[in-house]
């Protein structure tokens, strides 16, 4: 399975988000995930879908952005191979859960005192 990175607003004059994308044939679904990194479209290499690393239009934080994009790529291949080895179907939902867990996009549900109290009374 192939993946790519692209810009959210490629013709904008301001910083724009870099998105990670791949297509799941079985689900017939395009998976899009935000890398939470942004770059000027001027500093983006549209042929290679990565930040420019040569010439005069290099982003100030080009190395950081490239490193983060490489981490997304590595986690994608790692999780894909884990699914193949465990004979689990590689789905967009599982990939999203994995990326959320690895990159800290997990929302923590806060429980109130009364929810804990109700659970306690049910158990006892």
Looking at every residue in the chain, the average pLDDT score rounds to 90
What are the sequence ranges of the domains in the chain? 3-123
pLDDT at 1 over 80: yes
* Greatest C-alpha distance within the chain: 69
- Which pLDDT score, from 0 to 100, does residue 106 have? 59
Please report the sign of the dihedral spanned by the C-alpha atoms of residue 89, residue 8, residue 55, residue 66. negative
Q: What angle do CA 70, 77, 53 make, to 5 degrees?
A: 20
DSSP character at residue 110: P
**pTM for the whole thing?**
0.79
Q: Which residues contact 24 (CB under 8 A, 6 or more apart)?
A: 1, 30, 31, 90, 91, 92
């Amino acid at each position: 399975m192939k993946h790519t990175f692209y810009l959210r607003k490629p013709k904008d004059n301001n910083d724009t988000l870099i998105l990670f994308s791949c297509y799941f044939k079985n689900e017939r679904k395009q998976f899009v995930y935000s890398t939470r990194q942004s770059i000027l479209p001027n500093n983006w290499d549209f042929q290679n879908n990565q930040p420019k690393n040569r010439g005069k239009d290099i982003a100030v934080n080009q190395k950081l952005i490239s490193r983060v994009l490489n981490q997304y790529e590595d986690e994608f291949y790692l999780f894909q191979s884990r699914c193949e080895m465990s004979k689990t179907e590689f789905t967009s939902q599982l990939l999203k859960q994995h990326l959320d867990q690895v990159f800290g996009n997990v929302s923590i549900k806060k429980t109130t005192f009364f929810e804990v109290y109700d659970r306690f009374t049910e158990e006892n």
